[in-house]
Amino acid sequence: MRLFAAAHPPRAAREHLVRAMTEVRALTGTALRWGDPEQWHVTLAFYGDQPEGAVPDLSEHLGEVARGFPPLRVSLHGAGSFSGTTLWMGVGGETADLAELMRACSLDPDERARQRAHLTVARTSRTERTRQAKERRRGSRVRAHTGPELAHVVHALSVYDGPEWTVSEIRLVASELGRGRSGGALHTDMGRYVLTGA
């Protein structure tokens, strides 16, 4: 099973972002596949495919981490993209403490060095990626999809500043690709660990 550790924004923060993206979403047509707000999260560490027997060890690890960190205040702030295919919202607030929490959750030293706190909200649709690949094979310059390019969407959301919220727990989450709404991933909580800073 694919496992990761995450912090989940509360409903009020998710709804605020959904309202802020309404106009942009209407302009993008089918070029972007938007994530399910109920599944939105900030990944703290990605563990990849693991046997079911790994859950108790990861639970113990995350429980220890949670005891070492007090709750922290963050907000969703700004936007960006990875490789021109993934739209994400940045994180503001107590980002230095959040980075420390992410490092503590991770088991992979390489992952610790490259992590950036973000919340993925959309990806280029399979139809759009297929169209672009066909144009590349034909030697054509890849044209922008119908509606604004992802760079324009990033620009439109770059000024976003969401409400502050508290990261008060770490969740261990199992992800099943293709099993969620609209063919996305289905996320199931495997454990929750309250940040106590004890």
At 72, the pLDDT band (50, 70, 90 cuts) reads: very high
User: What is the CATH classification number for the domain harbouring 107?
Assistant: 3.90.1140.10
- Is residue 144 scored above 60 in pLDDT? no
**Percent of the chain predicted with pLDDT > 70:** 79
- Is residue 136 scored above 60 in pLDDT? no
49 in Cβ contact with 1 (< 8 Å): yes
**Number of Cα atoms under 13 Å in the Cβ half of residue 14:** 15
Q: What does the mean pLDDT of the chain come to?
A: 84
Each residue's pLDDT tens digit, 88-107: 999 999 999 999 999 999 98
13 in Cβ contact with 162 (< 8 Å): yes
Per the model's pLDDT, the better-predicted residue between 190 and 140 turns out to be 190
Helix ranges restricted to H, the chain:
11-28, 54-67, 95-105, 109-114, 126-137, 150-157
- Is residue 70 scored above 70 in pLDDT? yes
pTM: 0.82
User: Distance (Å, rounded) from C-alpha 99 to C-alpha 63?
Assistant: 18
User: Distance (Å, rounded) from C-alpha 165 to C-alpha 196?
Assistant: 16
Each residue's pLDDT tens digit, 21-56: 998 888 777 778 888 899 899 999 999 999 989 999
> How many domains would you assign to the chain?
1
**Percent of the chain predicted with pLDDT > 90:** 55
Rounded to an integer, the average pLDDT of 53-66 is 95
**Single-letter residue type at 99:** A
**41 in active site:** yes
**Single-letter residue type at 79:** A
- Domain residues for the domain of 149 are 2-194
Q: pLDDT value at position 112?
A: 56
**16 in active site:** no
| Catalytic member of 8, 16, 61, 118 | 118
